[in-house]
């Protein structure tokens, strides 16, 4: 039989947050039966591996195409995530992702033209850039008292390392110059520093990206009570009164429909499809799909000035699958006085194309990406259409999204801030910073947001349980209730840890 008839916990989605639930439950409730269901295919072994860890360009391209949902690009499409990143195309489509085909903008609104998703085992964790900064100031969730403990556990699960590239050429010089321009008046943990990254460095110095495979880890893969089911679309969460009772699944291989009974269900999709599934299931709290927010993103590029060649540097790392010693990623943390988050990336990690006129010294071309926190509005939302289905047959999405006057002011301030940072480093390679259309960050949040109490402005509790539906939890970036500028994955995994611990405690109490 392809699917189990009954499990203790059914997890919908195999990205970092779904994997975190499986991992924590495997460690804390090892006798519980757990099944994870993923609409997309398995890309490689181990399940959930990051595609950049696939050495073969041909196999890497195959994995990216498999991730691109119902209408993947043709086999000749680029595998380089930087291709087209800073050109003037109307919508940015990255390898391994697929754009929301319609409904992304309503008349007279800004919309989210960059809204994109991935369908594969490992979710977006198979394609992300691995940045895991901790939130600060108003980014933090004040009603989660053990947030720092949860963030530390998320760092363990993701194998976060802030020092993997301490020896990258010119990285220390980049941080020295940035610090001189930015650090005045900042607290110690908010000063320019190496970016914490979800990467692993082996004894030989090779660095690989953490995907959901790292979060699953051996405790999950070796758990005889855990199973992972790919190409399994969960079309409905089954509820009996105020208690969850399982999920309904469509087998994407043959179209058959199956019910799996479960005592607990965790919906750990992205910020678009998690509320979509709840809506399709008739679970529709007022805040569902609302408070949708993205992080307005501005990029710029410079060539470091006054830099001598490093005789120990290796060759240009472009087109290589793995991260190499030329890579350097620095972090300008968010503060409430300067409400931006800055990623400063060298060469292969840079968010902008390299200069073509001549071959730069490895490490001397630096891309700067500044992200803003969105002005949160209940009216920024996903509307679901029960009369029309998407390519998976789920309710079609209509995005309602507007940038406010405060947002436009923040974007302009971030453009000035990124220019000042660039001038501290070297000579700009462009005339002006480029601000992407909404959605390009892929950091959508808020659509199943957490709240301290059930007052109509949130979907779930601090343990990520959906209000009024016992046993139903949600996970992913959509749970984050605050306006953030930093990369959200570390925070969303931390919140998943809290939810998984709550389920594990309940299971343990029931069996004692």
Annotation says 341 is catalytic: no
Q: How far apart are the first and last CA of the chain?
A: 31
Q: Are 221 and 206 in contact (CB under 8 A)?
A: no
Question: Across the chain, which distance is largest between two alpha carbons, in Å?
Answer: 70
Examine residue 46 and say whether the peptide bond preceding it is cis (omega within 30 degrees of 0).
Answer: yes
Q: Give the DSSP letter of residue 429.
A: S
Dist. CA 112–CA 444, nearest whole Å: 10
**CA atoms within a 13 Å half-sphere pointing along the CA-CB vector of 31:** 8
Read off the tokens for 39: 């609409």
- Categorise residue 439: left if φ over 0, alpha if ψ from -120 to 50, beta otherwise: left
Please list the helix, strand and coil fractions of the chain in percent, rounded to the nearest 5, in that order: 25, 25, 50
Helices 489-511 and 16-28 sit at what angle, rounded to 10 degrees? 30
Q: What is the dihedral of CA 442, 334, 455, 103, to 10 degrees?
A: -20
List 50, 341, 400, 443, catalytic entry: 443
Reduced to 3 states, what is the DSSP secondary structure of residue 250? strand
Dist. CA 116–CA 118, nearest whole Å: 7
Distance of CA 249 to the CA centre of its chain: 25
Dist. CA 233–CA 445, nearest whole Å: 22
Residue among 353, 348, 354, 368 nearest 433 (CA): 368
Q: For CA atoms 20, 25, 27, 30, give the dihedral sign.
A: negative
Q: Are 35 and 229 in contact (CB under 8 A)?
A: yes
The DSSP code sequence of 276-313 is: HHHHHTT---TTTT-S-B---EEEEEEEESS----TT-
Q: Are 197 and 329 in contact (CB under 8 A)?
A: yes
Dist. CA 511–CA 504, nearest whole Å: 11
Catalytic residue annotation: 443
């Amino acid at each position: 039989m392809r699917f189990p008839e009954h499990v203790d916990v059914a997890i919908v989605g195999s990205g970092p947050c779904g994997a975190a639930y499986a991992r924590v439950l495997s460690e804390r409730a090892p006798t519980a039966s757990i099944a994870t269901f993923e609409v997309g295919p398995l890309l490689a072994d181990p399940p959930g591996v990051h595609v950049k860890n696939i050495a073969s360009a041909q196999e890497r391209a195959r994995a990216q195409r498999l991730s691109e949902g119902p209408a993947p690009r043709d086999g000749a499409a680029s595998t380089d995530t930087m291709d087209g990143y800073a050109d003037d195309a109307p919508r940015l489509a990255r390898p391994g992702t697929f754009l929301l085909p319609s409904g992304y903008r309503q008349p007279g609104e800004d919309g989210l033209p960059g809204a994109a998703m991935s369908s594969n085992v490992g979710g977006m964790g198979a394609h992300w850039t691995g940045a895991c900064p901790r939130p600060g100031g108003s980014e933090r969730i004040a009603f989660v008292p053990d947030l720092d403990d949860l963030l530390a556990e998320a760092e363990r699960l993701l194998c976060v390392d802030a020092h993997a590239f301490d020896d990258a050429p010119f990285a220390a010089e980049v941080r020295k110059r940035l610090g001189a321009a930015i650090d005045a008046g900042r607290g110690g943990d908010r000063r320019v520093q190496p970016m914490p990254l979800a990467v692993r460095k082996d004894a030989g110095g090779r660095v690989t990206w953490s995907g959901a495979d790292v979060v699953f880890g051996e405790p999950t893969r070796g758990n005889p009570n855990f199973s992972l089911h790919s190409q399994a679309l969960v079309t409905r969460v089954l509820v009996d009164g105020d208690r969850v009772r399982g999920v309904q699944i469509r087998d994407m291989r043959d179209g058959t429909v199956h019910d799996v009974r479960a005592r607990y269900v965790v919906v750990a999709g992205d910020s678009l499809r998690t509320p979509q599934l709840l809506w399709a299931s008739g679970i529709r709290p007022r805040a569902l799909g609302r408070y949708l927010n993205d992080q307005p993103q501005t990029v710029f590029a410079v060539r470091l000035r006054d830099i001598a060649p490093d005789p120990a540097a290796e060759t240009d790392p472009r087109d290589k699958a793995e991260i190499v010693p030329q890579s350097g990623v620095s972090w300008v943390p968010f503060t409430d006085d300067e409400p931006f988050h800055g990623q400063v990336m060298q060469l292969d990690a840079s968010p902008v194309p390299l200069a073509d006129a001549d071959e730069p010294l490895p490490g001397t071309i630096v891309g700067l990406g500044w992200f803003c926190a969105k002005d949160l509005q209940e009216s920024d939302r996903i509307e679901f259409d029960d009369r029309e289905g998407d390519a998976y047959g789920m309710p079609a999405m209509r995005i309602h999204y507007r940038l406010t006057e405060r947002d436009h002011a923040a974007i302009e301030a971030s453009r000035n801030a990124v220019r000042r940072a660039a001038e501290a480093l070297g000579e700009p390679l462009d005339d002006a910073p480029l601000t992407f259309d909404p959605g390009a960050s892929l950091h959508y949040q808020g659509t199943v947001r957490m709240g301290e109490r059930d007052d109509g402005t949130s979907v779930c509790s601090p343990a990520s349980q959906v209000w009024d539906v016992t046993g139903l939890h949600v996970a992913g970036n959509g749970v984050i209730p605050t306006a953030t500028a930093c990369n959200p994955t570390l925070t969303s995994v931390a919140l998943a840890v809290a939810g998984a611990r709550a389920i594990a405690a309940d299971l343990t109490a029931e069996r004692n």
